[in-house]
Amino acid sequence: MVYFRIAFGSIMLWETWRFVRNDWVGYFFSGKEFYFTYWPFDFLHPWPQEWMYVHLVLMGIFASFIILGFCYRISATAFFLMITYLFLLEQARYLNHLYLVCLLSFLMIFLPANRYFSLDVLLRPSIKSITVPAWSLWLLRFQIAVPMFFGGIAKLNSDWLHGEPLRAWLSVRTDFPLLGQFFANETVVWVMVYGSLLVDLLFIFYMLNRRTRVFGLIVVLAFHFMNARLFDIGIFPWFMIAATLVFFAPDWPVRVLKDVKLRHNYRLPALVLGLVVGFLVGGFLPERFDLVHALIGGLGVAVAAYHLDEPFLKSARAEETNGVSESPPRASWLNRMAKIGCRSIGAVGWASGFDTVEAPGNPRIGALDRRRA
């Protein structure tokens, strides 16, 4: 929940900056005599141009307060009202990702995302808690899954199932790095048509299953990276990459920090390699470099690389507790294969100069490692 609060606030701060940088206020919300407003919000009209910029500055301030967890309820409420106001001004500028932001901004008012690692906790220690009600996490996951699932529903029409308009879109994007030369191939078109349909429709199912989750994230990353290059759809691909990470076990940020601190023998090299690869892909795959693209790409790929062994673990419960079993279960052949692969990654990390430290109390290491420690 803390991770999502910081990620959401950061991306909203970036979106506010995009409004200013691209002068969307001057282009869309000033000097016009008529706006296609939403019923029953026809009474809403843009502020005078200079006040619209004040509006954006205040939005940025409240987004920053959400990141810091400062006056969280007030900040989340104010940000929801201000971003929804911009959304309701003009139907002709409808963006589904902006509608999603409005919905999530509303939910953020009620989510207890400021109970840990926030300025509110420093000011009021009595609200500090390392747990949140389960409904808050599942409500968040539900809202993130909705646009993916209904994206699949929307593709169940005659045009899409016959390859259009994706075939036409791909035919003019042959400049796509490496893959563009194949976009005129019918087999590639059909794979992408039905592949994207399945990515959307099955999203909730493969992200909720521990054994398919990391592979699903890899597919989602590829899906959103391609969308970011092929289509001009703003923050949506990057926002969804960051948001999809809430489907992993709630303690994954803590485990990542712990394994970084302990210089885990194969998870740390995997994390660093994923960070570098994601930074390069996220930064340079879109048509122009943006540091935010690179950082979110690095985050997504790093988390995927960190969890590569998750499908092969005997029990997810053991991963989410701090205790160590006295007699660890015998490894299945899948576990043994995973261990061999992870040892290989660890060898590469060792050769690269990583100093590894094993900890007797770390439940994520095997029995042999515990004896060595």
CA distance 157 to 150: 13
Helices (H) and strands (E) in the chain, counts: 19, 0
User: Is there a contact between 248 and 339 (Cβ–Cβ < 8 Å)?
Assistant: no
CA distance 201 to 368: 42
Q: Which of 32, 128, 155, 339 is catalytic?
A: 155
Residue 110's Cβ-side half-sphere holds a number of Cα atoms within 13 Å equal to 10
Residue 334's Cβ-side half-sphere holds a number of Cα atoms within 13 Å equal to 9
307 Cβ neighbours under 8 A, 6+ residues apart: 213, 214, 217, 248, 252
CA distances 238 to 12, 250, 326, Å, are 11, 21, 43
CA distance 238 to 7: 11
CA distance 230 to 267: 33
Distance from first CA to last CA of the chain, Å, rounded?
33
| 131 φψ region: left (φ > 0), alpha (ψ -120 to 50), beta (else) | beta
CA distance 349 to 70: 40
User: Is there a contact between 323 and 370 (Cβ–Cβ < 8 Å)?
Assistant: no
Hey, CA dihedral for 32, 38, 43, 46, is it positive or negative?
negative
The answer to whether 155 is a known catalytic residue is: yes
99 Cβ neighbours under 8 A, 6+ residues apart: 87
| DSSP structural state of residue 33 | S
Q: Which residues are catalytic?
A: 155
